[in-house]
Amino acid sequence: MDQGIGKTEFTLGIGFKTTTQLNNCLEGEALISTKAVIQLINNYKVNPLFLFLGQGDIFLSDTDEIEELKKERAEWIQRHNKVVETNMKLQKVINEMEDRNNKLIDLTHYALELEKQHKLKENSETNNTPT
């Protein structure tokens, strides 16, 4: 009992009525109940990864969790900022492409008008030429 509590208090804290129940679980003579596992996690901050997989620290540390969450939050904010920056760059490219497209449309329109005028001029010159 690393957290400074007695065996009886710990036994009651995980929902067992007697220390014999705890001893039976520790010695492998009985299975620990789901309720007791939940009480271990909630009341004593036992790390579920340690309980089920043997990974990580035995106890959860609130400060470690907070620091990890802060770090993860900062990473997400950084990712978000990169996405916003990329989005702004892409929007600028889209705007430039739209401008170019509009200019091409205008140029095409003027070229067609010039060609139309040129053909009208040729036709009128052909029709006005004496034979």
Sequence ranges of the domains in the chain? 7-60, 62-131
At 113, the pLDDT band (50, 70, 90 cuts) reads very high
Task: Identify the DSSP state of 59.
Answer: B
Q: How many CA atoms lie within 13 A of 14 on its CB side?
A: 25
What angle (nearest 5°) sits at the alpha carbon of residue 110, between those of residues 109 and 111? 90
pLDDT for 19 equals: 92
* Amino acid symbol at 83: V
Render pLDDT for 41-100 as a digit per residue (tens, 0 to 9).
888 888 888 888 888 888 887 776 667 778 888 999 999 999 999 999 999 999 999 999
Dihedral angle, C-alpha 79, 77, 68, 14, nearest 10 °: -110
